[in-house]
Every structure is written in structure tokens, then in C-alpha cells.
Structure 1
Amino acid sequence: MVSKENQQIAKQVISAIGGQDNVVSFAHCATRLRVVVKDRSKVDEEKLDNINKAKGHFFTAGQYQIIFGTGIVNDVYDAVENEGVSTTSKSDLNNVAAEQGGLFQKAIRMFADVFVPIIPALVATGLFMGLKGLITQPQILDLFGLTPKAIPTQFNTYFSILTATAFDFLPVLVCWSAFRVFGGTPILGILLGLMLVNPALPSAWDVAQGNAHALMFFGFIPVAGYQASVLPAFILGYLGAKFEKWIHNHIPNSIDLIVTPFVTLLVMSLVGLMLVGPIFRTVEQVILHVAEWIVALPYGIGGLLWGGINQIIVVTGLHHALNIVEIQLLANTHWNPVNPISSASIAAQAGAALAVGLKIKSSKMKQIAFPSTVSALLGITEPAIYGVNLKFIKPFIFACIGGATGGFLSSILNLRATGMSITVIPGVLLFLNNQLPLYILVCLVGFGVAFGLTWVYYSKKSFDDKDSDMISAKNNPTDTTNLPVNNEIISAPVSGSVESLSKVNDPVFSNETLGKGIAIIPKDDKIYSPVSGTITVAYPTKHAYGIKSENGAEILIHLGIDTVNLHGECFTSNVSQGQTIKKGELLGTFDYQTLKKKGYDSTVIIIITNSDEYSSIDKVTEGIVSTQNSLLSLIL
């Protein structure tokens, strides 16, 4: 039975998103309503911020996400459904959102799906380059009485293996990932990638340096190795996977195992070496030259532009497409001038968020702003952007100005990283050479400009007036239990490594929108109750549990990120809603290793959803934790 209060909230939601006629589809996960709309211009975002019981909203991946928290979101979803709005599963809604995004958004998502899995290999390679640069500095060698000429040949050979392998065989990695994403057999992708860099072909390096000539087929098609190439391997992987699937559908099952791989490799090797390779290597070189031209614009203009728009691109979700630029820069020049510019823009978001946290009186916004600052300094800006800076608009603009200033300075100083994907504080590892002081300076300038502009521009009154209106309209807590709240120790529900909530790759959790808590990188597949109490929420998808302890603590245990999409696959549950449970009792299991293989983040998140009722919530354990070890201390 839908309550009158939730029915009223449902009407507020429908009104804010432009009415039922503007809804393409509705879904929910453990904490959020997720809505795809026909026309964003009809959405009243101010109304979204003022919905009763809602804790905020943001727009990402083609859908609005309205944060309610566990339990409440189910009731509001039922009320929305009761109003006759079209509802669907979250995974289906994601597909609808992708369709709504059009071809361009699909292309961006496609690039991300292919390139994100190979980034760790390139990050490691960049760190190896930085380590080599540090070790071989004359000042470091001098400490051991050595000179650069005294470095053993074996040392150089070993580091050449560490730093060159990923880029020499980059087409293999890209082709494998493309086959995997587009539904082909990954091993065939690996073989096609190896054909592109086969040692029988003159290498791309030798041809570029004039030490060898490309093989000429039919008198006009130049063929050489494709070491360090990205686009030829990407296109070949796409075409190869589609071609393999087409053959599967047109070959009898009795000969499929023999004919399909044979024909796929034969046809696609010819297509790759003689058609796709020559054409898209040229396209790739054009993209590379354009990127280099922008970054190298005189008087620091390139860095100014790139640094200014970098985080705007993050908000649009297009930043994944820029991975190909950084990969290509590293593969061809072994340097990445984009990374320090990006670091400056990310540090600027941290500076603006910190200024908001220090200026504002609202304890709720402080609880969001300070962890978001730390998260941004570690390279993750979504909590700072969505949780703080975009809420007030001006801090985000000031952060873009800070990023532009830092980017300008980076270009003037000609800073270049040895790798990619790690920024700001972790990014120090990519500058373990004589650039390190300048890199730190660039990050400090981006941070300082954004912090200073935000601090000076806003008076306390302007912040507090806007924030108090927003908070008072959204916070209308209702007591759902007669249980008193007492001090309590929360135990670990799973064995693993303890992590700060700010490191969780979901802004709703990392900026503590739903409450304070902690995260665990699991090392076991069994989930135990951290307290004695009652199961308040047991989702059919088995990916999350809500528990009300005997002492009044309200706890959300969320298994992984976006795992609701799996519809219960990889999960089992031993409990049901309303069941009384003892501390240490088995809640269920989840196959965290399979989750990771499927591309999901398996982090277990523990949130105290009634955090406001406690004066302090403190981490008890650091490092490795076992089930039923003390994890959090709740003090009234």
C-alpha cells in the first residue's frame, strides 16, 4: 500500500522531470531513482533539488539519478509506478539511455569499453619509465659512485623490456579488447594483433627512421609493422569480430569450429595489412598531429584551452575518448604533455571544493566537501564536481579557470609525463625526474587559483542562504522506529582490505550523500551480518542489504558498483526482509572474482544511513580485516 506521503513525493518527481509524457523509462537501484527523459529542457532541476526526502540528483550516462537512500527509494519507486509511469529494469534503462544518446554517445561508450581495460598496462609502463628516469639521473648515480656510462648493458636491456613491451605490442592489446567488446573470440583478436606486429614485417620504427622500406603490394600498397598503432587495431578488431559473428550465423555447426577461425583470420589479415592498416594509420597520424598542435600552441595557449575545458569534458562523459590521444602520444613520443594539464584541472576542482567546505556553515555540505577534496587530490573528481562545485555553479567555473591557469603554466614549462591515467598526488610517480618540482608547482597553481577565486567571490551569507534553502527543503526526516539509538561497534561483514569511502568509484557513496561509512576490497565471497538486528531491505537482485541493529544503527551493505544490472547473477541470499538476525550470521554470498571478470567493481560498501544521529563515526581497523573484526565505532 502506497502511503500518501510517498504518493506526494512521486507527484513531485513526475512534475520535476516534465510530466509523464516526458518519461522514456523509470528504474531504481539500491539508493537512487534512475530516469531517462525525452527532452531535458522540460526538466526543472530546481524542483528536483527540492523533492521531499531526496538527498540530491545528478545527470550522467543519459539518465537523471535522484538519490533517496535504501528503503525510501523502493517506496517512492512503487508510488511512481502507481501513478502509471513506465518502469523497467536498470540494465534495460541503461540501454535506453545509450540509445537516447545517439551515435556520438554510443561511439564514446564504445571507445571507453575497448580502451579502459588496457589502461592498467600502460599505467605500469609509464611508472617503469619514471623509475628508470629516476634511477639513471646523474645525481642519483653519483650517490653510488657511478656514471651513466657505467650502467650495465643488462640493466638497460631489462628496462627496455619493461618500458617497450606494452607499446610494441599495443595493437595486440587493442585488437584483443575490441574482439572482446564486439562479441568476437578474443584469442582471434590476439592473433590478428600479433600479425600486425609480426617480425617478418619491417618495423614501424625502422621505416619511420629510414632504416628500412615498407613492403609494396601490387606496386602501391605500403605494408609495414604497426607497432604502437591504435586505430588500425581498433578498426580491425571491430570488423573482425563482426565478420566472425556473420560467419557463425552462415556456417553449419558441424564445420563451424574449423571454418570460422580459418576464414576470419585469412580474410581479416589481408584486410588489416592492405586496407585498414594503411588508411587508418594515416588517420591516426592526423589525430596525433592535431593533438600535438593544440598542446604546442604558442605562449601557453594550448595548455590554457585544454586545462580550461578538461573537467567540462568530464561532466559530458566524453573524457574516455581522450584516452586514445594520450595512448598515441606515449606510443609515438614516449611522452604525455596532456597529463600535467589534466592534473592541474583536477587539482583545481579540489581547491574549489575545499574553499566551499571552509566557507560554508552547513555541516552536511562540509561532510561532502572535505572528503570530495581528498578524492580529487587522488585523481577522482566526480564527488567534488557533482557533490559540491556544480551545486553552486560558480566554484565549478572558478575550478575551470584554475585548470586553465595551471594548464597555461604547464605548457610554458613544457611539462611531459612518462605515463597516463594517474594524476595530482599519485601523478607524482610520472615525474620522477628533474620535472618533479615544476609538476608540483603546476598542481599548486591550479589548486590555489580555484581556491582563491572561490574564497574571495563568495560571502558566507550567499553560501549559507542558498545551502540552507536547499537542505531545509530536502531534509524532512521521519522516525521509522521506536528503537533508541545507542553507541555501537560495527563489525566487518567480509574479509578484505579496508579502504576510505572517498576512494569508492561512485559519487553517491564517496561524497557521503547517503551517510558516513567505509569500504572493503573483498578477499572472501561470504557476507556476514555486522550486527544483531532486523533485515529492513533484502533486494531481489541480492546485491544489497539493509539492516536495523538492536541499538538503532541503520546499515546499508552494498556489494559492488552497479551490480544491480546482474539481476542476481553471482549472488546468493540467505535472508528475507523482516527477518531477525544475529551478529555473524551469514547473509549471503557473492562471486567477487567473476564480478571483476565481467568488468564490475567488487568493492563492498558499508554505509551508516542514519549518520546524523551520531556525533562521530570512526574507523577502528586499518589495512587487512577479517569478518567480525571491529570496523566502525558509532558514538552518540
Structure 2
Amino acid sequence: MSHDYSQIARELLHSLGGAANLEQAAHCVTRLRLALKDPSLVDSNTLNQIDLVKGSFFTGGLYQVVIGPGEVEKVYAALREQTGLAAATIADVKQQGADKANAMQRLVRVFSDVFMPILPALIIAGLLMGVNNLLGAKGMFIDGKTLLDAYPQLDGVWSLINLMANTSFVFLPALVGWSAAKRFGGSEILGIVLGLMLVHPDLLNAWNYGKAVAGLEGQSLPYFNILGLFQIEKVGYQGQILPILMAAYVMSVIEKWLRARVPNAIQLLVVPITTIVITGVLALAIIGPVTRHLGILITEGVVLLFDVAPVLGGMIFGLLYAPLVITGMHHMFLAVDLQLIANHGGTFIWPMIVMSNLAQGS
């Protein structure tokens, strides 16, 4: 069936408040992403009746019109032809719409911008862990045995895959530090250094923090004694999200402030070392301890809900997840997921997301 894309574009412009109301336009695989001067001028009821339009909504400072794969490119081309707008990327349009977003939308966008670039590393880790689980699952292929029991020569393969699978999570703060520094306008390499510093082997491994606090197995919290004036916990932040996220933000603010004031001739010597020293002290003395406990409270709260009332928790999550995807707010769950994995060795949110997607597909 052929469509008159020029007519569809004209109807879209009319429903959007006219060509003068359109600042920028881009498209993804299925949607038009539009930056509008005044979103209140949109006649959404009329717009949703236009041929090929599957729906529309306003989120993240942008008006999005769902068209569908393939067709969206032709509608976009007709829209540009009639308005004379220059081609724009999704990033360009997002930047244009950022000022129109409310505080919550801006917060969600930060989470999205930080975590989306590191998703490939997390996906790789998850898939490799799945392979390892198959090799070590008792009774999966052989009654009463794992593949490792039946074929001991696979142990080396299992160990190698396990190493590859764990790498992304062992050095997760470095990944987040890189991505967050890039998002906040700081130096990406300093973000990596800051993240690696928080998991340095000289620090008490975060997995043993609980034992040290409780005094189990003869462990106790080690400290940096700073000139006899105060002490800083000598504790790492393996698998932690909030500490490096906040530290990278503070680092970026400090670095940009210094770059604007330090002469160019000595910037390379002064800015990096000053930024890392100040941020490192703040991260270990204040940001890390505060955000560690905040992260623990958030994850324990989520776990408590599903422990006390799992049916209620599942119903609430199932009810809210699809609308959150539409608005983009589902990206905030990434931080909770990773914190759950760090604290409890796994997350029950991802399986529910899979079931939600399967239910929608059905």
C-alpha cells in the first residue's frame, strides 16, 4: 500500500502548531524526535488520527511521534522538504529539548547518558556468565553431575570464561567513571583513574566490608591516618554505582573550574593532579561512605518490598514498567540492578523485564 508522504507531513505540521513551531527534527528507527518551541500548541488528538501515526507523547523535552520502521525515514524526508530544516542527529535534538525538560526528566537523561554507553560491556558479562552457569549447572546435561564433573578438562575453559565475565563488574567503577566524566564534561581519562582508584587492591575489598564492620573472621576496618588529625576508611567500592557517579560529577566540576583559571602553559601539570587529589580525598572521606550507605538503603528497600509482599511488588513493577519505558525513565533501574548484583549476587528485576517484554510481544 502506497502512502502520500507529502500529505502526511503537511498534516503533521498542522497538528504540531505549524512549521514555525518546529525548531529541530530527527528520527530513530521508529519515531520522529521533534524539538518544539511551544508543545502546548500540539493537537495530539488530530495528530494521532493521521495515517501511519501509531501514537505520540512528550518526554525529555521532546515530542515523539511513532511512525514505524522504514516509513519514518520517508515521512522525515517529506517533513524536511516542506520546512527547510537541516538534517539533525538525535543527539542534536536531545540537546535542543534538554532545556524544556523538568528536573525528573533531566535526572533520567543523566542516568541514560551515563549507563547506555557501558551496556555492551554488561551484556557481554551477562552472556558469558550464562555460559559459565551452564557448564557448572548440576543435572542440566548429565544426571547428578555438572559438565565440569564429567569433563574435568573443561575447568580451564570455565576459569577463563569466568575471568572474562567478571571483568566488567570488578572494574565497573572505572567504566562508570569514564562514561560519567564524558557526560559531565570532565576528562574521560581522569574519570577512569578515579574509578580505578576506588577499586585499588590496597583498599579493603568492598565484598568484605560487612565482615570488617561486624568484626567477623578477625577482620577490622583499616584507616588512612591523615597527620593525626582525622581518619579515612581504607575501603574499596567494587560493584558500587553511586560513589563513582557522584565523585565523577564533583571531579568534572573541579576540573572545569580549574581549566578556566589556570594558565594554559601550566594546565597539564596543575589541573590533573589537583583535580585527582581533591576529588580522591572527597571520594574516600565523604562521597564514598555517604553514597555507599544510600545505595545499600535503596537496594535493601527494593529487596524488602519483594521479600515482604512479592506479589504486590511484582504487580507494581509490572504495572509501571511499560509506561516508564515510554518516558525513558526505565534507565534509572540500571543503577538499582547493578547495586543489587553487587550486594546480593544477582538481580530479580531483569527476569521481570524479560517477562514484561514477552507479555507485550504476546
Distance 1:137 1:249, change over 3 A: same
Map Cα deviations across residues 195-215 of structure 1 (whole Å, 9 max, x no partner).
111111121122222353223
Map Cα deviations across residues 555-588 of structure 1 (whole Å, 9 max, x no partner).
xxxxxxxxxxxxxxxxxxxxxxxxxxxxxxxxxx
Q: Write the letter of the residue equivalent to 2:44.
A: E
Q: Write the letter of the residue equivalent to 2:171.
A: F
Structure 2 residue aligned with 1:47:
46
Partner of 2:276: helix, strand, or coil?
helix
Map Cα deviations across residues 515-554 of structure 1 (whole Å, 9 max, x no partner).
xxxxxxxxxxxxxxxxxxxxxxxxxxxxxxxxxxxxxxxx
- Check the 8 A contact 2:299/2:339 in 1, yes or no: yes
Partner of 2:25: helix, strand, or coil?
strand
Structure 2 residue aligned with 1:98:
98
Cα distance, 1:270 vs structure 2:
0.8
Q: Does 1:58 align with 2:65?
A: no
Structure 1 residue aligned with 2:221:
214
- Check the 8 A contact 1:17/1:37 in 2, yes or no: no
Partner of 1:213: helix, strand, or coil?
coil
Q: Write the letter of the residue equivalent to 2:353.
A: S
Q: How does 1:436-585 map onto structure 2 within 5 Å?
A: none
Distance 1:71 1:347, change over 3 A: closer
Map Cα deviations across residues 414-449 of structure 1 (whole Å, 9 max, x no partner).
xxxxxxxxxxxxxxxxxxxxxxxxxxxxxxxxxxxx
Structure 1 residue aligned with 2:207:
205
Partner of 1:108: helix, strand, or coil?
helix
Structure 1 residue aligned with 2:329:
318
Q: How does 1:589-628 map onto structure 2 within 5 Å?
A: none
Structure 2 residue aligned with 1:27:
25
Distance 1:48 1:276, change over 3 A: same
Distance 1:274 1:32, change over 3 A: closer
Partner of 1:296: helix, strand, or coil?
helix
| 1-structure distance, mates of 2:115, 2:72 | 33
| 2-structure distance, mates of 1:117, 1:70 | 25
Structure 1 residue aligned with 2:116:
116
Structure 1 residue ranges without an equivalent (≥5): 82-86, 352-636
Structure 2 residue aligned with 1:38:
38
| 2-structure distance, mates of 1:220, 1:305 | 43
- Check the 8 A contact 2:181/2:187 in 1, yes or no: yes
| 2-structure distance, mates of 1:88, 1:64 | 18
- Check the 8 A contact 1:37/1:63 in 2, yes or no: no
Q: Does 1:194 align with 2:196?
A: yes
Partner of 1:250: helix, strand, or coil?
coil
Structure 2 residue aligned with 1:254:
265
| 2-structure distance, mates of 1:32, 1:253 | 43
Cα distance, 1:334 vs structure 2:
1.6
Cα distance, 1:143 vs structure 2:
6.4
RMSD: 3.5
- Check the 8 A contact 1:7/1:76 in 2, yes or no: no
Aligned length: 338
Structure 2 residue ranges without an equivalent (≥5): none
| 2-structure distance, mates of 1:203, 1:144 | 30
Structure 2 residue aligned with 1:448:
none
Distance 1:311 1:37, change over 3 A: farther
Q: Does 1:307 align with 2:303?
A: no
Structure with the greater alpha carbon radius of gyration = 1
Cα distance, 1:36 vs structure 2:
2.1
Q: How does 1:164-203 map onto structure 2 within 5 Å?
A: 164-203=166-205
- Check the 8 A contact 1:223/1:274 in 2, yes or no: no
Distance 1:104 1:117, change over 3 A: same
TM-score, normalised relative to structure 2: 0.80
Cα distance, 1:302 vs structure 2:
1.1
Q: Write the letter of the residue equivalent to 1:224.
A: V
- Check the 8 A contact 2:136/2:148 in 1, yes or no: no
- Check the 8 A contact 1:232/1:272 in 2, yes or no: yes
- Say which of 226, 230, 251 aligns to 1:240: 251
| 2-structure distance, mates of 1:145, 1:188 | 43
Distance 1:192 1:303, change over 3 A: same
Q: Does 1:266 align with 2:277?
A: yes
Map Cα deviations across residues 89-124 of structure 1 (whole Å, 9 max, x no partner).
645543232211122211111111111122222222
TM-score, normalised relative to structure 1: 0.47
Partner of 2:325: helix, strand, or coil?
helix
Partner of 1:199: helix, strand, or coil?
coil
Higher strand share: 1
| 2-structure distance, mates of 1:243, 1:80 | 43
| 1-structure distance, mates of 2:164, 2:76 | 49
Q: Write the letter of the residue equivalent to 1:27.
A: A
| 1-structure distance, mates of 2:191, 2:33 | 39
Q: Write the letter of the residue equivalent to 1:215.
A: P
| 2-structure distance, mates of 1:214, 1:208 | 10
Partner of 1:138: helix, strand, or coil?
coil
Q: How does 1:136-151 map onto structure 2 within 5 Å?
A: 136-139=136-139, 140=141, 147=149
